[in-house]
Amino acid sequence: MQLEYFQLIDRILDLNIGEKTITVEAQVPEHSTIFEGHFPGFPIMPGVLLTEAMAQSSGWLLLGVMKFERMPFLAMVKEAKMRGFVSPGQLLTIEAKIEHEGSGFAVTSAKARVGSELKCSADLTFRHIPFPDPALRVFMDAMAHKIGFPQQAMPHD
C-alpha cells in the first residue's frame, strides 16, 4: 500500500472472470503521516481509505472483465459500513463481486477482512468509459503487472 500515491492494492490473489469475483491483499503500512493525525495515540485507517481500497479492488475486477478496454471510475458508494478498526501493519484481504453490468456502468459489492474478521463492506457503482488518455492505459498496464494481475486475463495486442 502506497498511501501517498493512493495505490492501495498490493497483490491480486485470485481473479475469476467467469464468476466475476476478485480477491486481493492490501498491506496497511506501519508508518504514515496519515496516522499522526488519524488519530494521535490511536492510529487507525480512515474509513474513506478503506472504501477506496474496496473501490480499487472492484476496479481491477472490472478492468479484467472488460479486458482493459474501458476504465472504471467510482460514481456511487452505498451501504458503506465500517465494522471494526483497522490498525497500522494489518493485512487486509478484500473480496469484490460484480452484482450488475449495465450500459456504461457496473455495480459491485465488496468486503474487507483482517484475518477472518470482517472490517468493512460497501456496495459500489462505477461509470466506465474508454480510456480517456493512452498514458492512463500504459500506467494501468504497469500497475497490473506490479500487483500480479493474471497474464491470461490481460489483453494481448
Catalytic annotation, residues? 38
The whole-angstrom separation of Cα 96 and Cα 41 is 32
Long-range contacts formed by 34-40: CB under 8 A, 24+ apart: 34/3, 35/88
Applying CB under 8 A, the residues found at the interface with another protein are 75-76, 100-105, 107, 125, 127
Closest CA to 31 of 61, 4, 67: 4
What is the distance between the alpha carbons of residues 86 and 96, in angstroms, rounded to a whole number?
Answer: 18
Of the pair 15, 106, the CB lying nearest another protein is at: 106
How many CA atoms, within 13 angstroms, populate the side-chain half-sphere of residue 48? 4
| 32 versus 58: smaller Cβ distance to another protein | 58
* Closest CB 104 distance from another protein, rounded Å: 4
- Smallest gap from Cβ 111 to another protein, in A, equals 20
Nearer to another protein, 76 or 136 (CB): 76
CB of 108 to another protein, least distance (A): 12
